[in-house]
Amino acid sequence: MTLACDLARQFVSIAVGGMAFAVGISLAVKIPVLLFWSILIVLGLSVSAGLLLQMHAIALVWKGDYDVYGLSFRWISICQILLVALGVFLICIVI
């Protein structure tokens, strides 16, 4: 359980760093407004998915269930990973 939660925290850190990078690059270089907001929204959704995953893990531990292979846990983590990948792809378009 702790490895899955640590991995989710790392993806939250990557997403927050990507958001800060997007804001910084938008101040330095003119990028399309739609692209800027899509980066922030996608990475913000990834942060939200990571926090939801943390809350779900705490609820599972509180119930006494340590199953990280459950369907809900898997789908939340897959969504978080895909959102981070999409956000990094959008940042690469800017660069």
* Cβ atoms of 73 and 60 closer than 8 Å: yes
Q: Answer positive or negative: Cα dihedral of 66, 67, 71, 74.
A: positive
pLDDT, one tens digit per residue, over 80-93 is 999 999 999 999 99
**For residue range 54-80, what is the model confidence (pLDDT) as tens digits?**
998 888 888 887 777 778 888 999 999
| Contact indicator for 72, 49 with CB cutoff of 8 Å | no
pTM to 2 decimal places: 0.88
- Give how far Cα 48 sits from Cα of 64, 74, 94, Å: 24, 15, 23
